[in-house]
Structure 1
Amino acid sequence: MEKLCVFLAILVILLHGGTVTALRTKDGSEEWGYVQVRPKAHMFWWLYKSPYRVDSPSKPWPIVLWLQGGPGSSGVGFGNFGEIGPLDANLKPRNFTWLKKADLLFVDNPVGTGYSFVEDSRLLVKTDKEAATDLTALLIEIFNNDISLQKSPLFIVAESYGGKFAVTLGLSATKAIQKGKLKLKLGGVVLGDSWISPADFVFSWGPLLKDLSRLDDKGLQKSNSIAKRIKKQLEAGQFVNATDSWSELEYVISINSNSVDFYNFLMDSGSDSVSLSTMKLKLFKEISMRRYSKHLTSIRYSPGINGDLISSLLNGVTKKKLKIIPENITWFEQSDNVFTNLEGDFMKPRIAEVDQLLTLGVNVTVYNGQVDLICATRGTEKWLKKLKWAGLSNFMVKDRSPIFCGSDQTTKGFFKSYKNLNFYWILGAGHFVPIDQPCIALNMVGAITQSPAV
């Protein structure tokens, strides 16, 4: 903590338009600030420059933009301190930080999430595409006036619902680049356990859990019945109703499986203090919204780390260090207001956007944890087969290659690729691959970004 105080003493203030919008450390290793992406809508970002950087004319050092899910979960909080940033929630160095392969840019997206805020709640986004427009405005502000950043390819890496933001941002950014409005090189879009096709996921839950003996025939019938209702609602354009049915389906599965963990189907969910068997259905939607962040900070992932610890960190020493977070802004693990405003988009698929990215020649990588349920590999493979991309048939017939970690020749996963589509199957990982399989995740991001060897 003493070192942190010394570190804070060397902050340098950057001025823009006469007001403080960003700060950086004297050595330039960290920068952070706010971008007003729309009038009265302020998005917070935090950039870490890698101490492992290797300059190579043939392979420029990459930047990873991390997009969290939820929607409404904080990338500055969870992606940073919970998954891939330089320090964990105890402010101890992370052995497998992704800084070993790239610079890291975290954002609290959409506005209203984490440290990001709006001055009027009516300014919260209602669609994934609106979120992408805000993110594009953020990138324009950060990259257009920094020639050094423009030299590094940017890889948009997403987790969970963040995948929907990633594909809409990928398209928005590509268009902005083509029009000369955005000065950066897009290296690719990476979709980790991503909520790209909700219908395919909800149909995967029942059969998968039946095969695992977590559901019996009765539970499977109930699950499939609600999934079919969701399909009809989506076809009828009843998207908010479909979101309500999704909540009901999670409730029914939890009851009939004795609380299977939606983020690791080999485990029981232990994050909720109220017994699901006595929980009223009307409360389950609220719990579903918070489930993402509660599981991410579960003690089973990182001993000693829980939601209260991360919340204390972001509202305490981190807020003090950053200096520009308004006093009236309290960091929360999950913004229910952000989720509620996106209810109409929550169950909409983004397969067509993935198709567009592939057709435009953008590198698209999909990775999935073996024991994830919420975005089960079974569902991911299902939506991938629906792509209309011309190279899909060739991709499907390609053989998979096993992947390992270092000298350990135990199979850690599989990989296959054709042209600009890549797929990683990560064994032994649930929804949060960087936490469950940190070594293989680090190697994977190094391969994706073609990061120069450290």
Structure 2
Amino acid sequence: MNIVSMKYLCVLVLCACASGFVSSVTSIRNSSGGTADGSETWGYIEVRPRAHMFWWLYKSPNKPKHPTKPWPTILWLQGGPGGSGVGFGNFGELGPLDVDLKPRNSTWLQKADLLFVDCPVGTGYSYVEDDSLFVKTDVEAAIDVTTLLKAIYNGNVTTVTSPLYIFAESYGGKFAVTLALAALQAIEKGELKLQLGGVALGDSWISPEDYVLSWGPLLKDVSRIDDVGLNKSNSLALKIQQQIADGQYVNATDSWNDLEEVISDSSNNVDFYNFMLDVDNDPGFLSKKSSRRFGKKPYAMVSKDGNDLDSLMNGPIRQKLKIIPINVQWGGQSYGVFTTMEGDFMRPRIAEVDELLSKGVNVTIYNGQIDLICATKGTEAWINKLKWDGLSAYLNLARTPLYCSKDKSTTKGFFKSYENFAFYWILGAGHLVPVDQPCVSLEMVGSVANTPSM
């Protein structure tokens, strides 16, 4: 594959890949660091021989001295595969500081402790000493993160006892559901001392088939493509549907790339993270390095002040952490992560959601209204395929409007739940819900994570 085409660069804020690979790294096995006051802890866990996963835990300053119920911990899983949660999720979306290292008013630390993990190995600061150690499937990635959770929750590297809520974005949703099942299995065997509070899937790539089938009709409805573009899109989407049905997942990934080309050409380069915009005029923090179409070139996270995430992570943050091996560059292996997982990229994970529901795990879905890549239309389509016993009752319920704090003048979203399943429709948000609608997102997080009152 021509590396310039970068056809596997993905579904999210994902693979803003920095150059540089690991060679002849001296294994550091398990190591950790942290701030003097204990508010932050970070480290490496060797999840397999010569495969090293990086984690970063923030303790919330908002935790009540005498909470009425357990204070939660949120594990954030980024997409890609190959996007860095320690970078993108932390500094770009919901951590205590932004890319300019300024305090974030909407940080999720107000509602929970935050655990960021660079998953799979090879993502962000995580690395492998040999390319053969990249994971090939979501399940393999889940097993690695379960190994990391054992080290953290069983008290080997730090002490965490709070209930864990797994929040994910984009491809991270596939990691989340497979991780939740792997963690449950370890809990049942007595290998992991953890209480799983629930799983929250934000704009998650759970059913690629349903998302690609939604693109053409959605864009036609909002006048972004015409009938010619719709017919081309539908034709390729049906081809992808058949390839997935036949288990031809690598071919389906190739066709997915072709469909993105068609969508971009037919729409004059619509932004896949916000279908109301062109790819080059998104006013958010994602600045594109070129006018190339989605999937052709990695996105760069650049702040309004002009600071970029790549320089931050390979500069000041690296210096702060002190334990990053000298020849490990943040994001240097993320292209390898994606290409190695191409055989799993288009594989659906609806059955895993069903299994979690059947086991009584709380599952929350939240979706941005103007996202295209993981459009709400596609999310609703795969939800209708669930075999969960409560589906019919859930579908027949009315939605509850959501507002921001005490302001009831503007509807910010809708909510509906039944038993252990919930859905949040977030209005005015694209793919990056915490960025586009921080206020209603924060309130949603508090509700999902069952955060005790102050």
The TM-score normalised by the length of structure 1 is: 0.90
Question: How much has 1:376 moved relative to structure 2?
Answer: 0.1
1:150–1:185 contact (8 Å) kept in structure 2 = no
Alignment-derived partner of residue 245 in structure 1: 255
What is the CA-CA distance between 1:249 and the residue it aligns to? 0.3
Q: Which amino acid aligns with 2:207?
A: S
Residue 89 of structure 1 contacts residue 305 of structure 1 at CA under 8 Å; is this kept in 2?
no
**Deviations for 1:388-422, whole angstroms, at most 9, x for unmatched residues?**
01111111111100011112211000001001001
What pairs up with 1:66-105 in 2 under 5 angstroms?
A: 66-105=76-115
- Distance in 2 separating the partners of 1:359 and 1:21: 38
What number of residue pairs does the alignment pair up?
420
Asked which structure has the greater RCO (Cα within 8 Å, sep 6+), the reply is: 2
- Check if 1:171 corresponds to 2:181: yes
> Offset at 1:285?
5.3
Specify the code of the residue in structure 2 equivalent to 1:54.
Answer: P
- The separation in 1 between residues aligned to 2:342 and 2:30, in whole angstroms, is 34
- Helix, strand or coil at the partner of 2:260: helix
State the alpha-carbon separation in 2 of the partners of residues 426 and 68 from structure 1: 19
1:16-415 pair list within 5 angstroms: 21-56=31-66, 58-145=68-155, 149-270=159-280, 271=288, 273-274=290-291, 286-287=296-297, 290=298, 293-294=299-300, 297=301, 302-305=303-306, 309-332=308-331, 335-409=334-408, 410-415=410-415
Retained in 1: the 8 A contact 2:29–2:46? no
2:290 is aligned with what amino acid?
A: S
Paired residues of 1:311 and 1:333 also in contact (CA < 8 A): no
Is the partner of 1:343 in helix, strand or coil?
A: coil
What RMSD over aligned residues (CA atoms) do the two structures have, in Å? 1.8
- Pick closer, same or farther for the CA change 1:397–1:452 going to 2, 3 Å: same
Structure 1 pair 448/393, CA: closer, same or farther in 2 (3 Å)? Answer: same
Residues 355, 387 of structure 1: 8 Å contact kept: yes
Q: Is the 8 A contact 1:64 1:154 kept in 2?
A: yes
Contact 1:74/1:333 (8 A) holds in 2: no
Residue type matched to 2:266 in 1? N
Structure with more helix by fraction: 1
Task: Name the SS of the counterpart of 2:320 in structure 1.
Answer: helix
Letter in 1 for 2:183: A
Any conservation in 2 of the 1:70–1:334 contact (CA below 8 Å)? Answer: no
Quickly say closer, same or farther: Cα 1:187–1:20, change in 2 above 3 A. closer
Q: TM-score under structure 2 normalisation? A: 0.90
Q: Report % sequence identity.
A: 64
**Greater displacement, 261-270 / 48-57:** 48-57
| Higher mean displacement: 404-413 or 131-140 | 404-413
Once residues 407 and 147 of structure 2 are traced to their aligned partners in structure 1, the CA distance between those partners, rounded to angstroms, is 44
For 1:420 and 1:24, the matched residues in 2 are separated by 36
Match of 1:14 in 2: none
3-state SS, counterpart of residue 313 of structure 2: helix
Instruction: Tell me the equivalent position of 1:11.
Output: none
Letter in 1 for 2:389: A
Measure, in 1, the Cα distance between the counterparts of 2:316 and 2:43.
Answer: 17
Distance 2:168 2:29 in 1: 32
Residue of structure 1 in register with 2:438 after alignment: 438
Q: Which amino acid counterpart does residue 304 of structure 2 have in structure 1?
A: P
The offset of 1:191, in angstroms, is 0.0
Deviations 1:60-113 (Å, cap 9, x if unpaired)? 110000000011010000100000000001110000000000000001000000
Secondary structure, aligned partner of 1:251: helix
- Show the counterpart of 2:429: 429
C-alpha separation between the residues in 2 aligned to 1:43 and 1:175? 21
Amino acid in the other structure paired with 1:68 = Q
What's the CA shift for 1:335? 1.2
Q: 1:269 to 1:147 in 2, by over 3 A?
A: closer
Q: Give the 3 Å change call, closer, same or farther, for CA 333–441 of structure 1 in structure 2.
A: farther
**In 1, Cα distance between equivalents of 2:342 and 2:54:** 23
- Partner of residue 5, structure 1: none
Counterpart CA distance in 2 for 1:211 and 1:421 is 29
Give, in angstroms, the shift of residue 273 of structure 1. Answer: 2.2
Structure 2: stretches of 5+ with no match in the other structure: 1-26, 281-287
Q: CA deviation at 1:150?
A: 4.7
